[in-house]
Amino acid sequence: MLQTMVTSVAADAIKNIINDGSRFVVLAHRNPDGDAVGSSLALVHYLRSLGKEAFAMFPNDFPIFLKWMPGADDIVIYDSDKERGDKLLQWADTFFCLDFNALSRIGAVGDAVSVLQTRRVLIDHHPYPETGFDVAVSHPEACSTCELVFRIIYLLGGTEALTHKMAECIYVGMMTDTGNFAYASNRRDIYLILAELMDKGIDKDIIYRRVFYNYSLSRLRLFGYMMYRKLRVYTKSNAALLVLENEELKRFNAIKGDTEGLVNMPLQIRGIRFTCFLREEQPGKINVSLRSVDDFPCNAVAAEFFNGGGHKNASGGELHCTMDEAVEIFRKALRKYHAELTK
């Protein structure tokens, strides 16, 4: 039996909003990952099963290895179809905000949403959510937003409400946000949920291959280059750094999603507890990805040094500076957290 996480009060509030509404837009964060895509599509499938009109919208495109997912072809990408996106935002009577905790995480979409009086429902597992939502289901203890979407569907309609398509989407988010259940996945409930998803006939082995054995050749070559040429190991601080400039991305003809998972690679080195990946998106703008193991709080590092945040073991941020300056900020963070990294 599942333990209580999403309360009956929150579930009832969401049920009332769904019953009252007819036009739903499900929003997820910029650079959508498996959890953002999976939770959004699962919720769209659920809303449509109730006879509602529903669409998923992302600020920008998502990786090719997630495009096989049921319903992915119908997702609206705002930065490539702004006209349609703006029409949908005006059309909606309800926004579901999934897998982000602040409107700033959805960029220009957030700017457009912020001036509308449309109802907003937050479903998310990142800490420190902002206010301004009509209903907020925020549980950092959840392994993924997909877990929360499952729990909501389960509370509203039981396992009978869950379809094969929903189950596939939910499994993708739970799998990818836990590194195929290698971290943030020690709770018994997670495996009870997986059993329910399996009962819907999903093939977890095929799903794994579709996500993790579906990369481009450029990605494999880029990973080899990064490990051989660009990896910097700070042995005394049990940390590692990867630096990737825009020209290098172009050299390898990298496509969307080709750097996914790169930040995790140095954690395979014995003794490494903290990794940082600095990727130049454009001159003067650096995307920051952080990962850690055990109790080291990389979200604290993200907040203090990289204008970001996230989970204890998986966080990110953004810098507006040169790459050399970004590397120096990383070194400053190492000096600040040296004692905690080496204890």
Question: CATH no. for residue 26?
Answer: 3.90.1640.10
Evaluate whether residue 251 is within a structural domain.
yes
- Mark whether 88 and 203 lie in a shared domain: yes
Average pLDDT of the residues in 294-306: 95
- Mark whether 168 and 283 lie in a shared domain: no
Domain end (from 212, 232, 254)? 212
Q: Structural domain of residue 299, as residue ranges?
A: 217-342
Q: For position 256, what pLDDT does the model report?
A: 83
State the chain's mean pLDDT as an integer: 96
Q: For position 3, what pLDDT does the model report?
A: 84
Q: For position 257, what pLDDT does the model report?
A: 87
Strands 135-138 and 119-124: parallel
Q: DSSP characters for 95-150?
A: EEEES-SSGGGGHHHHHHHHTS--EEEEEE-SSS--S--SEEEE-TTSS-HHHHHH
Residues in CB range of 20: below 8 A, 6 or more apart:
none
Secondary element (H or E) of residue 217: helix 217-225
- Mark whether 277 and 134 lie in a shared domain: no
% of the chain surpassing 70 pLDDT: 100
Q: Structurally, how many domains does the chain consist of?
A: 2
Q: Has this prediction a pTM greater than 0.85? A: yes
Identify the DSSP state of 203. Answer: -
The CA distance from 137 to 133, in Å, is 10
Average pLDDT of the residues in 32-56: 98
